[in-house]
């Protein structure tokens, strides 16, 4: 969802389309937040290839929708994704590894389903709104604020 950045990202996308000519890949452009759940329900694999990132909401949202995810080994993705358990982690700046991992998941529906189910369970167990609130309050208390 969204747009593909110019440069190497376009090249990777074009190579992916060529290697999977029957794949149904759609680039949506901007999607309104209220429409995101409907879009998430349509995808097979969600890819979050960041060079640096906090904990992307989109990653958590799609995991909650029981979808397979691929993220790079940076920032909050490392907190959410356990490689080969509830998603896949790849190295940053490694287009070949990313493409290979995409190919792996696109070729193995049972693996996508397994990772998606585990991803949803991760959200249920660890990333609830209450857990976020509790974590923020604990941080404020550590900073000496009375909350």
Q: What is the pLDDT of residue 102?
A: 96
C-alpha torsion angle, residues 49, 69, 105, 114 (rounded to 10) = 160
Measure the CA angle with vertex 105, ends 104 and 107; round to 5°.
Answer: 70
Main-chain dihedrals φ then ψ at residue 52, nearest 5 degrees: -160, 145
Distance CA 119, CA 121 (A): 5
Q: What is the pLDDT of residue 73?
A: 95
Q: Which of 16, 41, 22, 21 is nearest to 31 (CA)?
A: 41
CB-neighbour burial class of residue 50 (10 A; exposed 0-12, middle 13-18, buried 19+): middle
Q: What is the pLDDT of residue 134?
A: 94
Q: What is the pLDDT of residue 127?
A: 94
CB-neighbour burial class of residue 98 (10 A; exposed 0-12, middle 13-18, buried 19+): buried
Q: Which residues of the chain have pLDDT under 70?
A: none
Q: What is the pLDDT of residue 5?
A: 84
Specify the CATH architecture of the domain 42-142.
3-Layer(aba) Sandwich (3.40)
Distance CA 64, CA 73 (A): 20
Q: What is the pLDDT of residue 38?
A: 92
Structure tokens at 147: 């909350």
pLDDT over 70, % of the chain: 100
Q: What is the pLDDT of residue 75?
A: 93
Q: What is the pLDDT of residue 138?
A: 95
Q: What is the pLDDT of residue 26?
A: 81
Say if residues 123 and 64 touch (Cβ distance below 8 Å).
yes
Question: Tokens 């990333």 identify what position?
Answer: 127
pTM: 0.78
Write down the domain spans for the chain.
42-142
Distance CA 93, CA 9 (A): 11
């Amino acid at each position: 969802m969204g747009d593909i950045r110019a440069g190497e990202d376009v090249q990777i996308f074009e190579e992916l389309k060529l290697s999977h000519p029957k794949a149904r890949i759609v680039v949506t452009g901007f999607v309104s937040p209220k429409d995101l759940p409907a879009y998430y329900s349509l995808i097979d694999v969600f890819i979050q290839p960041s060079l640096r990132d906090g904990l992307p909401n989109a990653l958590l949202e799609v995991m909650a929708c029981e979808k397979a995810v691929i993220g790079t080994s940076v920032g909050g993705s490392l907190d959410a994704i356990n490689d080969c358990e509830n998603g896949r982690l790849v190295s940053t700046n490694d287009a070949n590894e990313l493409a290979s991992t995409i190919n792996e998941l696109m070729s193995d529906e049972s693996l996508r389903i397994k990772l998606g189910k585990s991803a949803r369970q991760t959200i249920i167990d660890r990333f609830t709104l209450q857990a976020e609130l509790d974590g923020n309050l604990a941080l404020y208390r550590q900073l000496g604020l009375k909350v």
